[in-house]
Structure 1
C-alpha cells in the first residue's frame, strides 16, 4: 500500500468512461456501471457468446452509449452515461426492447449466458472539482486503453477531509511542470460505502510505470507527505487494472 504505484493512482483517476476528447464542461456526470464477473475457465465461452451479442447490438442499432472495459481479475465494466436516477428506467427499457429483438432473431440471451457470469450494479458521480484537467480536455481514446482503478473506501464522515487531501495534490501539480490528468468518481449507489473510485490511464502499463518512477524520483518526499494526509481517512483500498475495449463499446466516437 505504500508503493509508488498505489500512492500515485490513489489520486490520479482518468476516464472510467469519458466521451472522446472534448472540453471538460461536456463531461457526463453520472454513470451506471454494471460489473460482470466471469470465472477464468469460462472466459473463452463468455467471449464467444458476448461477441455474438455485440454483433446483434450493432445490427439492431442499439443507441445507448456503452463503454466497455475488461479487468485483469476476470471481470468486465459496462458503463453507461445517465442524466440522473430517473434515466435508469429509460436505459433498462431500451435494453429490454433490444433483448426482445435479439430473441426474435434466434438469440436467447438468458440461455446463452446461463452459468457464465454474475453481475452487480453501481451508480457513480463524476466530481468535477476533484478531477484535474489542466489542458481543459477529458477523453477515452484507443491510444490510452490501459487503466488502473483504485477503489478507495473512506471512513464514515471523512468525505470533506479526503476532498481536502486531494485538493492538495491539485495544488501541488499546479506548482510543477509535469503533465498528468485524473478524474474522481464517488459512488452514489453501491456497496460498502462511502467509496470513491480513482483511475489512471495510459497507452500501456510500462508507460505508466515509467512516468510513476520519474515522478517518484523527483518528488518522492512531497508525495510521502501528501499520502500521510490521506491515510487517516481510509478504511481500505483495492487496485484493479485493465483495458478499454473499443470493439465492445457502443456509440463510441472514434
Structure 2
C-alpha cells in the first residue's frame, strides 16, 4: 500500500511551490523526520508524494510532530505559504496489484534513468469488478505470451477515494523512448490485440491518461546510522 498526498498546484504558483517544497524537504532532512516519500508530477501541475505503508495504523503516526515543535512558527508559515499555491489537495491510499502487473524480470522499481511516466486510469462500476479484473489478467497473459518488452505496474484504488479504478504505470527514459516502445509493442501484439483489450475496455466507464515525470530531487528519506 502507498499513502499519496496530492497537491493540485496553480500554474501561476509553480516555481514558488517548488521552492517551498524543497525548503520543506531541507527542514525534514535537518530534523531527520522518520518518514520517506518519492515524488511524481504530471504535466498539468499535480504533485504526488508517495510513501509506502504497511497498514492503516500508519495514519495514527505523527512523523512531523517533533519537527513542528522545534520549528515553531516557521513550521506554520511553511504551510501557510503552501496553501497559497493550490486550491485543492488531499491524501488517499492506493494498492499495488502484483498479480495484474506485467514485470517479467521481477523488478520492483524502474531503472533510475527511466523517469518519464505514462499513467492510464481506468474507472469502472462496482458491478463490473470481476469482469474488468479478468480482462486485466487476459491483457497481462497476452503480453507474456508475446514476450512484450513493454513492462507496466498496476495499482488500484484504496482508502479515501469515491470511485473504483485501475491505474497502469509505464516507465520510459523520455517521450521519444515512450513513442518508440509503444509502436514496437503495437507491432508485436498485432491487430488481434484489440480483441483482448476489449475485455477490459468493455467494462471501463471512463478513462484518463496522464503524462509526467518522477522528481528524485524532491524525494526524501531519513538518515540511517
TM-score after normalising by structure 2: 0.90
Q: Cα gap change, 1:61/1:206 in structure 2, threshold over 3 Å: closer, same or farther?
A: same
Matching residue of 1:59 = 30
Measure the CA separation in 2 of the matches of 1:112 and 1:97: 20
Matching residue of 1:219 = 189
Matching residue of 1:185 = 155
Measure the CA separation in 1 of the matches of 2:51 and 2:71: 20
CA offsets per residue over residues 155-177 of structure 1, 9 Å max, x none? 22212111111111222122223
2:42 is the counterpart of 1:77: no
Measure the CA separation in 1 of the matches of 2:75 and 2:100: 47
Matching residue of 1:241 = 211
SS in 2 for 1:130: coil
Match of 2:116 among 146, 149, 157: 146
Which runs of 5 or more structure 2 residues have no equivalent in the other structure? none
Higher relative contact order (CA 8 A, sep 6+): 1
SS in 1 for 2:12: helix
In the TM superposition, what is the alpha-carbon distance from 1:106 to its structure 2 partner? 6.9
Matching residue of 1:25 = none
Match of 1:115 among 84, 103, 108: 84
Q: Please tell me whether the aligned partners of residues 102 and 143 of structure 2 are also in contact (alpha carbons under 8 angstroms).
A: no
Measure the CA separation in 2 of the matches of 1:177 and 1:141: 20
Match of 1:164 among 134, 149, 160: 134
2:2 is the counterpart of 1:31: yes
In the TM superposition, what is the alpha-carbon distance from 1:110 to its structure 2 partner? 2.7
TM-score after normalising by structure 1: 0.81
Match of 2:144 among 174, 179, 184: 174
In the TM superposition, what is the alpha-carbon distance from 1:67 to its structure 2 partner? 0.9
Measure the CA separation in 2 of the matches of 1:83 and 1:113: 28
Match of 1:203 among 157, 160, 173: 173
2:91 is the counterpart of 1:86: no
Q: Cα gap change, 1:239/1:97 in structure 2, threshold over 3 Å: closer, same or farther?
A: farther
* Alignment root-mean-square deviation, CA: 2.0
Which runs of 5 or more structure 1 residues have no equivalent in the other structure? 1-29
CA offsets per residue over residues 101-128 of structure 1, 9 Å max, x none? 3336677223322311231222111112
Count of aligned residue pairs for this structure pair: 222
Measure the CA separation in 2 of the matches of 1:230 and 1:157: 14
